[in-house]
Amino acid sequence: MIATPDRTPLAREFFDRPVLEVAPDLLGRVLVRVTPDGPIELRLTEVEAYDGANDPGSHAYRGRTARNDVMFGPPGHVYVYFTYGMWHCMNLVCGPEGRASAVLLRAGEITEGAELARKRRLSARNDKELAKGPARLATALDVDRALDGTDACAPDDPALTVLTGTPVSPDQVLSGPRTGVAGDGGVHPWRFWIANDPTVSPYRAHAPRRRST
């Protein structure tokens, strides 16, 4: 008998831990995104950890900027960035405050509101592809920079909440290099995913972007 996922929101203390503890522990948790058209729920199946000043792959590696300011704030907040002039990606900030670590939400399974996600992800060939990759996940959940700084632990702000869900057994959690990260940051095995889950995105090593001539 499959257990019913726990609907209890994760407390701020969950996020107020080292990022390498929080990241794998987010697998199996449920994001509830309340959009103007209705709620969408997603079970997290793949994440990546970014460890601030200790991590060349992190946006916060060289210090605080207007772009990454939320990463330095309290744990449990949402950090959204815009990349390649096309896509948004969503992260959850980890503690302690001032440490600037965060978990990139790479992929998940839409468990409620798939009809709303399909309207935003018209190129998806099936529901397993709706949130298969960080940009696809953000698009499916109607996430953009307007959500940057949202407190996912605030009881009076329903825009985005993380529920306890059904934590994944450690023997089902795999890890490996992060996708598309260059240089020294590319060697860290800080990408975590659920074994054999069809919504997990394919791994791609970093490929330098070619300049047009």
Domains of the chain: 6-194 (3.10.300.10)
Q: Do the Cβ atoms of 179 and 201 come closer than 8 Å? A: yes
Which pLDDT band holds residue 213 (cuts at 50, 70, 90)?
A: very low
pTM, two decimal places: 0.93
Contact between 65 and 71 under an 8 Å Cβ cutoff? The reply is no
Largest CA distance in the chain: 60
The better pLDDT of the pair 57, 171 is held by 171
- Contact (CB, 8 A) for 164 and 152: no
Residue 24: asked if its preceding bond is cis (omega within 30°), the reply is no
Indicate left, alpha or beta for 137 from its phi (over 0: left) and psi (-120 to 50: alpha). Answer: alpha
What one-character DSSP code corresponds to residue 151? B
* Residue located via tokens 């940057």: 148
Q: What is d(CA 44, CA 88) in angstroms, rounded to the nearest whole number?
A: 17
Calculate the CA 4 to chain-centre distance: 23
pLDDT digits 0-9 by tens, 112-151: 999 999 999 999 999 999 999 999 999 999 999 999 999 9
Which one is predicted more confidently, 213 or 5? Answer: 5
Mean pLDDT, rounded, of the chain: 92
Q: Which residue has the tokens 């990349």?
A: 83
Cβ atoms within 10 A of the Cβ of 125, count?
7
User: Per-residue pLDDT averaged across 73-88, rounded?
Assistant: 93
According to the model, what pLDDT value does residue 86 have? 87
